[in-house]
Structure 1
Amino acid sequence: SALELVPFGIKPLLRRAAAYEALERYSLAYVDYKTALQVDCSVQAAHDGVNRMTKALLEKDGVNWRQKLPPIPTVPVSAQTRWSIPSAQAPGASTPPATAPQGERDETAAGMERARMLKEEGNEFVKKGNHKKAVEKYSESLKLNKECATYTNRALCFLTLKQYKEAAQDCTEALKLDPKNVKALYRRAQALKELKDYKSSIADIKSLLKTEPKNTAALRLLQELNRA
């Protein structure tokens, strides 16, 4: 196969992931999409695939779905491309070339791992009900890696803390990364409802329902908005 010739080729990984997805072998598809992101974190198709597989695996295996995953291979630095942290650049700064120096790639890879750990720490604080501390961790994580899930997690904290403008803003940032993200649309609709921007809130719910027509929480919120 193409992957035997080029073990971490983006196109073969994405093609195989799509094939696994079509066969409903979601855990194998998830591993390939995640591997593709290690090679090049800017591939939108891989981000979208990870989001879809996360949702599918959560529905199939419940909250402990990650424990059932096969191991995700570690991509050697030599195979990684286009590592760059958007947040570290000044506005208008050009993206580093694909052949960034190895030290820079190592540093960025370490930054991505640190961002993931900070996000996990934030998740733990949410479980304990400490949303202010969770916001701090998510904020640190986002400085290193602007990730959709981190924005939607922080938005949930802001909603709990009644900081509705901040919640809406985080959802907007998440939607720039993933325009159909269900959590971002739903949480922004919640925030906008609290800010009494009912028209925009209804628009978000309608966008969400195009993706998930039977989403009960969204349908319930739409009923509340129509009564508002």
Structure 2
Amino acid sequence: MAAACPSALRRAGNEEFRRGQYGPAAALYTRALALLEAAGDPAAEERSVLLANRAACHLKEGACRLCVADCTGALDLVPFGIKPLLRRAAAYEALERYPLAYVDYKTALQVDCSVQAAHDGVNRMTKALLEKDGVNWRQKLPPIPTVPISAQTRWSVPSAAAPGANTPPATAPRGQPGESVRRARTLKEEGNELVKKGNHKKAVEKYSESLKLNQECATYTNRALCYLALKQYKEAVQDCSEALRLDPKNVKALYRRAQALKELKDYKSSITDIKSLLKTEPKNTAALRLLQELNRT
């Protein structure tokens, strides 16, 4: 029978996962792992993928501690895997272990700085930790590991296809970015550094140059943040709308557009954006707080 080999069991598990059958998928991944162990096959990469896939099943079913355990096992076998990092971060977040979630999201960004899910996770955890521990929240964080250059991804990942916490593993190789994409990324990073220094006006210029070369969701949301700081609310709305055209459920774009619309006194549209955001992230504390403010207006 074809399903008797680990790779066939993994493919069958992936198919069950796509059909939303997370329990059967997890069982298939477990069988594949057992076969590898029984055969004494070290196959670190294959075992890591199977553990990460089973972790996705656990995450979907709300078994967050099991998800953490499987992701940790996957990362022990193949350090700095983007999918187990994101899945473990999501599980930690659901368990309200925000410092650990923050560390995993930040580590994932070292591996691949273009993963929007990691950027959004860092922003959520920053807000949650600031609310919980105050301005000195960074002092209470566990150490963030330094990802070696060899483990860092150099290609561009389109926002809509970024490897999220719940997706089954990608198998197709991705190509190296062109010179324009590399230049766009450099300009975006320069803009990010300017934002950290509070120079939002200059950061807007860098993001604008970057967008001329490569229209990326994160660059639009970053420029929108600057426009909010500069009180250019119409421009912020426009940038968030462009980001949502690229990624219709982008949490950062929905939140920032809601903030801008509130300042423009378009409360109805602002509430609509926040409610859309909460469908994706029902426990987003910043969004819930903004919604309370809007309901009082």
Global fold match (TM > 0.5) = yes
Contact 1:122 1:138 in 2 (8 A): no
Q: 2:37 corresponds to which residue?
A: none
Question: Given the superposition, is the C-alpha separation of residues 185 and 115 from structure 1 closer, same or farther in structure 2, using an over 3 Å criterion?
Answer: closer
Matched with 1:56 is 128
Tell me the equivalent position of 2:198.
125
1:39 aligned partner: 111
Establish whether residue 11 from structure 1 lines up as the match of residue 83 from structure 2.
yes
Does residue 226 of structure 2 align to residue 150 of structure 1?
Answer: no
User: CA separation of 1:33/1:85 partners in 2, compared to 1, >3 Å: closer, same or farther?
Assistant: closer
- Equivalent position of 1:92 in the other structure: none
Instruction: Tell me the amino acid that sits aligned with residue 179 of structure 1.
Output: N
**Shift of residue 169 of structure 1?**
0.8
Counterparts of 1:85 and 1:43, CA distance in 2: 7
Residue 25 (structure 1) aligns with: 97
The 3-state SS of whatever aligns with 2:96 is coil
Q: Judging changes above 3 Å, is the alpha-carbon distance between structure 1 residues 4 and 123 closer, same or farther for their aligned structure 2 residues?
A: closer
Q: CA deviation at 1:52?
A: 2.8
Out of 235, 246, 252, the residue aligned to residue 166 of structure 1 is 235
* 2:255–2:274 CA contact under 8 A, matched in 1: no
Q: TM-score, normalised by structure 1?
A: 0.63
Identity of aligned residues (%): 62
Tell me, yes or no, if the aligned pair for 1:189 and 1:205 is still in contact at 8 Å: no
- In structure 2, stretches of 5+ residues that fail to align are 1-72, 159-172
Secondary structure of the equivalent of 1:56?
helix
Q: How does 1:66-215 map to 2 (within 5 A)?
A: 66-81=138-153, 83-84=155-156, 98=174, 100=176, 108=182, 112=185, 115-125=188-198, 132-133=201-202, 135-136=204-205, 138-139=207-208, 146-147=217-218, 150-158=222-230, 160-161=231-232, 164-175=233-244, 176-177=246-247, 179-181=250-252, 183-190=255-262, 192-193=264-265, 199-207=268-276, 211=282, 215=288
**For the residues of structure 2 that align with 1:12 and 1:217, how far apart are their CA atoms?**
32
1:152-182 alpha-carbon deviations (Å, 9 max, x no partner): 4123035x24xx4312112224445553336
The one-letter code of the counterpart of 1:119 is N
Larger radius of gyration: 2
**Are residues 133 and 222 of structure 1, via their aligned partners in 2, closer, same or farther at CA, if it must alter by over 3 Å?**
farther
Q: Which amino acid aligns with 1:135?
A: V
SS in 2 for 1:75: coil
Segment drifting more, 207-216 vs 55-64: 207-216
Shift, 1:18, TM fit: 3.4
Question: How many residues matched?
Answer: 202
